[in-house]
């Protein structure tokens, strides 16, 4: 049997990390079995679906390297198929029109809640007489369409992650709605559970891999598979990604969409690596750094965890740094340039390329997130230094002004500037002023960078010199001191 899996996001928001992780598992499974990974956009909720979200989802998946083999297929373009399926259910008397109003349903749930009962639809319109139906229609009520769920029914399946699963029909909340309200005789907007089953059947999906929050839906959907088709896919319900409080990670938890992670400076490789690790482990669990292709080779649901996993920024950061640090400057610089540009730094990415690469080589091994390059290198792009409080305190110490003045003197007599010349200049000042080298270095750092900490001083100096701002800064510092 060929493996055919699908990712079925609804475009009601940007690509969420939970959806992306589901995508990762689907992709890994498909690739492992040389199957197909299909992308389907579930936009049946017209009110909440937006094209820009669809675009964001497509972009995010592409960025992560989760290429799909078919699609995107839009449910909004398949309404006819859903209507046909609904009509079939109606014709077979497996579904019926329910005229209960939302208000009545609310009241029902309220009273059930008050009696400490589980909320459920009481199937009150399952066997309406023609007269009753006519009366409701005369009242102007618009019916939804519900599929009958046998309370005594038993639904079983074997979940690839959780093993044997069993549900009672009576625990499914009563007959389920498959189409929104619309004038009797017509068929309203099809709902999720129905559309999913029709599509998965049409697309010959072999395995449904999704988050465990869908487990109850699976029981309902199996009923529809039985009514509408003759095959039922295999299911795998993956654990959820949790926030620090242990709840399902949602938009309320702040940064949760893939484009946000991208913007913050995580690499696609690192993020995909981390998402895979959240709930799955390679056969050699000590080997935590891997590319999607490597994971696909050995992916299996036997090694997918059952419990939800809390999202951990520290670990993601660490993984990201592991991808960034060994990256050659010639490659890294390409990734850094957009961040520098976004920060508003002025530079010519072509003409100044060597300088930018040199800078990248300097800060690259210290980066955690790509965006860190902004704060780390700001002082190199700025025209003038802004002195930190610490730096000013240092500059005002005894002997600093004199040392800097001496340094300025030495430098201005220099014919050509180089790393060696810089070193000898410092030594000369130390000798002339009779101060410790540490003092000169610290003063120089404060002068050139405006701060007491930062990347390697001599390298920074060389970069600054190429921009022709080093002497100016030393003068600026002398004024402060």
Taking CB under 7 A as the rule, does residue 314 contact RNA? Answer: yes
Q: Shortest Cβ distance from residue 368 to RNA (Å)?
A: 7
In the set 322, 358, 378, 388, which binds RNA (CB under 7 A)? 322
Residue 140 within binding range of RNA, rule CB under 7 A: no
> Rounded distance, CA 25 to CA 12, Å?
22
Q: Which of 118, 342, 414, 419 binds RNA (CB under 7 A)?
A: 118
Residue choice 14, 26, 36, 44 for contact with RNA (CB under 7 A):
44
Is 342 an interacting residue with respect to RNA (CB under 7 A)?
A: no
Interatomic CA distance for residues 419 and 422, integer angstroms: 5
Q: Single out the residue of 385, 388, 401, 413 nearest to residue 443, CA to CA.
A: 401
Expressed in angstroms, the distance from the first to the final Cα of the chain is 78
Is 180 within 8 Å of 191 (Cβ atoms)?
yes
* DSSP structural state of residue 294: H
Known catalytic membership, residue 148: no
CB of 192 to RNA, least distance (A): 3
Contacting range for RNA; rule: CB under 7 A; set: 23-31, 163-171, 335-343, 471-479 = 163-171
Q: Which of 193, 102, 197 is nearest to 141 (CA)?
A: 102
Beta strands in 357-425 (DSSP E): none
Binding positions for RNA, 234-263, rule CB under 7 A:
239-240, 242, 245-248
- Cβ at position 338, least distance to RNA in Å: 21
- 399 touching RNA, by CB under 7 A: no
Distance (Å, rounded) from C-alpha 40 to C-alpha 10? Answer: 9
- 100 touching RNA, by CB under 7 A: yes
177 binds RNA (CB under 7 A): yes
Member of 32, 78, 109, 472 binding RNA (CB under 7 A): 109
- Among 186, 303, 384, 396, the residue binding RNA under the rule CB under 7 A is 303
Pick the binder of RNA from 188, 233, 265, 450 (CB under 7 A): 188
Per CB under 7 A, 162 contacts RNA? yes
Q: Which residues within the stretch 364-393 sit at the binding site for RNA (CB under 7 A)?
A: 365-366, 368
Q: Which is nearer to RNA, 348 or 453 (CB)?
A: 453
CA angle 172–175–177, rounded 5-degree value: 105
Residue/partner pairs of 313-321 with CB below 8 Å, 24 or more apart: 315/274, 316/266, 316/270, 316/271, 316/274, 317/368, 317/369, 318/368, 319/270, 319/273, 319/274, 319/277, 319/288, 319/289, 320/265, 320/266, 320/267, 320/270, 320/271, 320/368, 320/369, 321/367, 321/368
Query: What residues from 440 to 459 belong to the interface with RNA (CB under 7 A)?
Result: 440-442, 445, 452-457
CA distances for 332 relative to 193, 262, 266, 359, angstroms: 45, 15, 13, 11
Nearest to 413 by CA among 429, 401, 400, 399: 429
Tell me if 192 contacts RNA by CB under 7 A.
yes
Q: Cα 19 to chain center, whole Å?
A: 8
The smaller minimum CB distance to RNA, of residues 244 and 349, is found at: 244
Among 81, 123, 204, 281, binds RNA (CB under 7 A): 281
Cα 419 to Cα 377: distance, rounded to the nearest angstrom: 20
Q: Which of 77, 168, 251, 436 is the catalytic position?
A: 251
8 touches RNA by CB under 7 A:
yes
Nearer to RNA, 1 or 307 (CB): 307
Least distance between RNA and beta carbon 50 (Å): 13
- Cβ distance to RNA smaller for residue 240 or 268: 240
Q: Encoding tokens for residue 139?
A: 């009242």
Segment interacting with RNA (CB under 7 A) among 50-58, 113-121, 398-406, 467-475: 113-121
Using an 8 Å Cβ cutoff, are 241 and 17 in contact?
A: yes
For the annotated catalytic residues, the residue numbers are 251
């Amino acid at each position: 049997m060929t493996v055919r899996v699908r990712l079925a996001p609804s475009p009601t928001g940007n690509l969420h990390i939970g959806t992306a992780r589901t995508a990762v598992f689907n992709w890994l499974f498909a690739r492992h079995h040389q199957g197909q990974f299909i992308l389907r956009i579930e936009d049946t909720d017209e009110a909440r679906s937006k094209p820009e979200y669809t675009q964001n989802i497509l972009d995010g998946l592409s960025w992560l390297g989760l290429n799909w083999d078919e699609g995107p297929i839009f449910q909004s373009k398949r309404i006819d198929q859903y209507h046909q399926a609904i009509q079939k259910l109606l014709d077979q008397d497996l579904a019926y029109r329910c005229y209960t109003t939302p208000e009545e349903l609310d009241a029902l749930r309220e009273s059930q809640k008050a009696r400490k009962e589980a909320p459920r639809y009481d199937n009150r319109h399952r066997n309406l007489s023609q007269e009753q139906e006519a009366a409701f229609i005369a009242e102007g009520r618009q019916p939804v369409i519900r599929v009958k769920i046998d309370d005594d029914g038993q639904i079983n399946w074997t979940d690839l992650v959780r093993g044997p699963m069993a549900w009672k029909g009576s625990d499914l909340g009563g007959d389920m709605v498959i189409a929104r309200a619309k004038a009797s005789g017509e068929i309203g907007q099809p709902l999720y559970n129905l559309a999913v089953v029709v599509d998965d059947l049409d697309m010959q999906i072999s395995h449904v891999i999704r988050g465990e929050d869908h487990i109850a839906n699976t029981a309902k959907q199996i009923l529809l598979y039985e009514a509408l088709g003759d095959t039922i896919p295999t299911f795998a319900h993956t654990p959820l990604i949790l926030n620090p409080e242990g709840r399902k990670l949602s938009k309320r938890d702040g940064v949760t969409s893939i484009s946000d992670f991208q913007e913050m400076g995580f690499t696609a490789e690192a993020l995909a690596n981390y998402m895979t690790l959240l709930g799955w482990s390679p056969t050699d669990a000590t080997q935590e750094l891997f590319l999607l292709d490597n994971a696909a080779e050995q992916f299996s649901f036997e090694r997918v965890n059952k419990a939800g996993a809390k999202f951990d920024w520290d670990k993601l950061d660490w993984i990201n740094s592991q991808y960034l640090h060994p990256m050659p400057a010639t490659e890294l610089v390409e990734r850094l340039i957009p961040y520098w540009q976004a920060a508003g730094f002025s530079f010519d990415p072509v003409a100044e390329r060597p300088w930018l690469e040199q800078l990248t080589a300097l800060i690259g091994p210290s980066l955690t997130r790509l965006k860190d390059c902004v704060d780390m290198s700001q002082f190199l792009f700025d025209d003038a230094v802004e002195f930190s409080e610490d730096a000013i305190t240092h500059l005002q110490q005894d002997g600093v002004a004199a040392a800097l003045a001496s340094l300025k003197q030495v430098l201005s007599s220099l014919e050509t500037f180089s790393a060696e010349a810089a070193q000898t200049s410092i030594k000369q000042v130390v000798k002339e002023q009779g101060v410790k080298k540490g003092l000169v270095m610290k003063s120089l750092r404060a002068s050139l960078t405006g701060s007491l900490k930062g990347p390697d001083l001599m390298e920074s100096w060389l970069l600054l010199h190429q921009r022709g701002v080093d002497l100016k800064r030393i003068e600026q510092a002398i004024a402060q001191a």
